[in-house]
Structure 1
Amino acid sequence: MTVTKQENGSYQARFQWDGKRYKKNFPKAHLARTWEADTLRRLAAGETVLREKDKRRLTELAQLWFDLHGHTLKDGDKRLSKLFYCAKLWGNPEAHRIGPSTYLQYRKARLTAGSSENNCNRELTYLKAIFNELSRAEEWHTDNPLKNVKPLKFDEKEMRFLSSDEISRLLIQCEQSKSEHLTQVVKLCLATGARWNEAAQLDRSELQVINDRARVIYQGTKSGKVRRIPIDMELARELLEKGNPSGWLFCDCMSAFRRAVEAAEIGLPAGQMTHVLRHTFASHFMMNGGDILQLKEILGHSTLSMTLRYAHLAPDALDQALSFNPLNVGMS
């Protein structure tokens, strides 16, 4: 039970009773304390007390989330833009109208309009985060209205990676491109498993050559981890020789990459255009006998489960099925 002064000069009475939170703003502190005492008396007597409806719009909650927490995230601006987009499609509901039923109707409309299951799940994560963070900041005083909504389940899609022949065809098209640095960015992705932006935005100072060893240092990554990946000396010399003399080594070449993929007649699933290079590194790494734990560190995955998507590509993957199945063991 507490009465606190708000930034706008009003006083807020706030308390919790039987797992539910109650709050109300008043122009004077004594009015807030009177309301609090009277409401507690009525609740203790078993009376039903209707809580004031929260009429803040979803966009207001999203902006408050950003001001208190979202601005600290690397993708905070992107998330806020996504949340505003969701709010627009949803009709920007008032807070007290947000719940499982209204959300599920909104999600059905999104799916009908062609949104993917994965995209809907990402939106749900962002929406839940609003209420979780505002609750921690004591700006939301009831349960998360979406806490019982489960994400959609969908069939896992096979990740596309390039064969050796496709890699050769792609590099030929890159060499023939008018883009000054396309070949070098593609080679760097294939050699280190970097995300496109990590390689394309590599600073010259982040390519280090010491004696006969070279490495690239990826900073400001998606996971926040700094990754130091060794590369071949010949590739390092090529990058230094053909890259810009200062600042970012490479000029923008995303559009040129798309044209090179098309010219090489390589078909890719939606959403895997540049990421196919990262998948290709990881897949060939495992097929050539690489260690799954080292791959986790190279890719910068936060959990091993993310890296295990590539485990089936190891030469001896699931070979124990041959040795330990009941026909070979129990009947021998």
Structure 2
Amino acid sequence: MTLISPACRDALQGWLEREKSLAGRAENTLTAYQGDVSEFLSFMTLHHGQSQGLTALAKITVSDMRAWMAQSRNGGVGARSLARKLSAVKGFYRWLADREGFEPTAVLSTRSPKFQKKLPRPLAEEAARDMIETVELQSLTNWVAARDVAVVTLLYGCGLRISEALSLTDSDTPLGATLRIRGKGGKERIVPVIPAARDAVDTYLKLCPHTQSPDAPLFRGVRGGALNPRAIQTAMAKARMQLGLPATATPHAMRHSFATHLLTAGGDLRAIQELLGHSSLSTTQAYTAVDTAHLMAVYNRSHPKA
């Protein structure tokens, strides 16, 4: 028995194409969406004992949704992962209901399972500096060591995601006072580039043995191709072991550290939101970790009534 009908398969593909072209979803996101919704549609086929066409999908009930969620949890899917799957299914249903003209209340009203959000753990300022210095020691090849330093310095100095740093090309050099970054969803932002980051990239370029060309990736692997993020993750893993830092000292933690240290130094949360490229201020707040004592000190120093 075919688990997903041709009509549903075509509809899913149409939604994914819409998400790619209009919402600018990344390929990894689209792959996750496809897997999550396909899994949902397959469950509904087995649950009802027959292939679910578009008409049948329009008649899914609250009971059907509960059965899917219960089966997922019984299968070992955690609350966080199930919330992600439900979000994908709801996105697909919003689009499908609008296209087919049915009421998707049963799906859209399904509550997401509660889970404890994992707050990012930034490094202390000294630990962030130590990481940049120690990551250089993880390779005996000078240009590779310089490359790793340049990448990690960009993560911490400019608040970049590792995917953003590795998407830079030779045409972005020499780095100026600012850098135009295309982040999640194709959203562009301008970030200032600190002198340490410019110097680190310049040093790497002087040592890099691979020929430069405008469209070539700025950061290269040892064979000259685009640098795999795994190489930076591995170098940082070795460095954190030497420094005695926790497993949370990852490339993404450098971005968290950038935000937290700026806020600790008195930076404006809205400005930090722009630098990170967040659509929501609440997301930026989750990326920062300022202790209560510091906040009270800022309050007492700055509030006109204090």
TM-score, with structure 1 as normaliser: 0.67
Give yes or no for the alignment of 1:268 onto 2:247. Answer: yes
> Aligned partners of 1:76 and 1:192: how far apart in 2?
22
> Aligned partners of 2:299 and 2:65: how far apart in 1?
44
> 2:94 is matched with which residue?
132
Residues 121 and 150 from structure 1, CA distance in 2 versus in 1: closer, same or farther, beyond 3 angstroms? same
> 1:216 is matched with which residue?
179
> 1:229 is matched with which residue?
191
Alpha-carbon shift at residue 200 of structure 1 (Å):
1.6
Residues 170 and 256 from structure 1, CA distance in 2 versus in 1: closer, same or farther, beyond 3 angstroms? farther
> Aligned partners of 1:318 and 1:112: how far apart in 2?
46
The answer to whether the Cα contact below 8 Å between 2:19 and 2:25 also exists between their aligned partners in 1 is no
> 2:16 is matched with which residue?
66
> Aligned partners of 2:284 and 2:18: how far apart in 1?
33
1:116 is matched with which residue: 78, 85, 103? 78
Identify which of structures 1 and 2 has the higher relative contact order when contacts are C-alpha pairs closer than 8 Å and 6+ apart: 2
1:290 is matched with which residue: 246, 258, 267? 267
Tell me the amino acid that sits aligned with residue 185 of structure 1.
V
SS of residue paired to 2:201 = helix
The C-alpha deviation readout for 1:166-191, integer Å capped at 9, x for no partner, is 32442244212334511111000100
> 2:120 is matched with which residue?
159
Tell me the amino acid that sits aligned with residue 153 of structure 2.
K
Deviates more, 1:151-160 or 1:88-97: 88-97
> 1:206 is matched with which residue?
172
The C-alpha deviation readout for 1:59-110, integer Å capped at 9, x for no partner, is 4432232345554332264444324423554435225264332333332333
The answer to whether the Cα contact below 8 Å between 1:196 and 1:274 also exists between their aligned partners in 2 is yes
Tell me the amino acid that sits aligned with residue 294 of structure 1.
A
The C-alpha deviation readout for 1:212-263, integer Å capped at 9, x for no partner, is xx222212x1143322222223431331341363332112152232323332
**RMSD (Å), alpha carbons:** 3.3
Give yes or no for the alignment of 1:188 onto 2:154. Answer: yes
Select the structure that is richer in helix. 2
Residues 185 and 131 from structure 1, CA distance in 2 versus in 1: closer, same or farther, beyond 3 angstroms? same
The answer to whether the Cα contact below 8 Å between 1:128 and 1:146 also exists between their aligned partners in 2 is yes
Residues 258 and 112 from structure 1, CA distance in 2 versus in 1: closer, same or farther, beyond 3 angstroms? farther
The C-alpha deviation readout for 1:7-53, integer Å capped at 9, x for no partner, is xxxxxxxxxxxxxxxxxxxxxxxxxxxxxxxxxxxxxxxxxxxxxxx
Give yes or no for the alignment of 1:255 onto 2:230. Answer: yes
Q: Which runs of 5+ in 2 are unaligned?
A: 45-51, 221-226
How many residue pairs get aligned? The number is: 264
Give yes or no for the alignment of 1:148 onto 2:126. Answer: no
SS of residue paired to 2:110 = coil
> Aligned partners of 1:75 and 1:228: how far apart in 2?
20
The answer to whether the Cα contact below 8 Å between 2:157 and 2:193 also exists between their aligned partners in 1 is yes
TM-score, with structure 2 as normaliser: 0.72
> Aligned partners of 1:279 and 1:197: how far apart in 2?
15
The answer to whether the Cα contact below 8 Å between 2:128 and 2:254 also exists between their aligned partners in 1 is no
Residues 317 and 116 from structure 1, CA distance in 2 versus in 1: closer, same or farther, beyond 3 angstroms? farther
> Aligned partners of 1:73 and 1:304: how far apart in 2?
20
2:61 is matched with which residue: 72, 78, 99? 99
Tell me the amino acid that sits aligned with residue 215 of structure 1.
T
Runs of 4+ in 1 over 6 A off after TM superposition: 320-323
> Aligned partners of 1:126 and 1:149: how far apart in 2?
13
SS of residue paired to 2:93 = helix
SS of residue paired to 2:114 = coil
